[in-house]
Amino acid sequence: MPDAYDALYADMIQHGDAAFTLQHVVDAHAAQTATEHSKPIAIVFALVGLYLHVEKDYTGRQIQQIHMRMGRHKQQWPHLHLPVNRGAMTPETVLSAAPGEPRDAAIDAWCASVWEAFTESHDTIANLVREYGQSQSLSRG
């Protein structure tokens, strides 16, 4: 039997929306389940995605494009503090919401919950996005 994340992932693949909401699911899960063995790039990209979605209202499609552009520039990504508590919401919580708009709202709330848990990394992520925005022409378009 698939776990809740796998079920949510499969549901979002079938959902297939133009905004690519699946990106938010992937980012929230990656940040929420990261360990000290996770690659820094995975944690940074997940938090960049959450920052851009929660704070700047970017779509998953826009975030995916930014991740691709950032990934073309090899660098040493910062090691970020992993908080013990990573938000009260989980994939199980999101799955309990009805499909469609209620589930999309639950995904947004999950992203906000996980992003808020990483308060200690907010400035680092915002500065990194600003740095890439100025030097790499990252934009919403």
Per-residue pLDDT reduced to its tens digit, 107-117: 999 999 999 99
Q: Above 80 in pLDDT, residue 139?
A: no
Amino acid symbol at 121: S
**Domain tally, the chain:** 1
Average of per-residue pLDDT across 62-81: 88
pLDDT of residue 19: 83
Q: Does residue 36 belong to any structural domain of this protein?
A: yes
DSSP sequence for 76-107: -PPP----S---S--HHHHHTSPTTHHHHHHH
Q: Does residue 59 belong to any structural domain of this protein?
A: yes
Q: What is the pTM of this model?
A: 0.91
Q: Does residue 141 belong to any structural domain of this protein?
A: no
Task: Determine the structural domain holding residue 89 and report its residue range.
Answer: 4-135
pLDDT of residue 1: 44
Residue with tokens 């690519």: 20
pLDDT of residue 14: 86
Phi, psi of 57 (to 5 degrees): 60, 35
Q: Does residue 115 belong to any structural domain of this protein?
A: yes
pLDDT of residue 87: 94
From the list 113, 115, 135, the residue with the least C-alpha distance to 125 is: 115
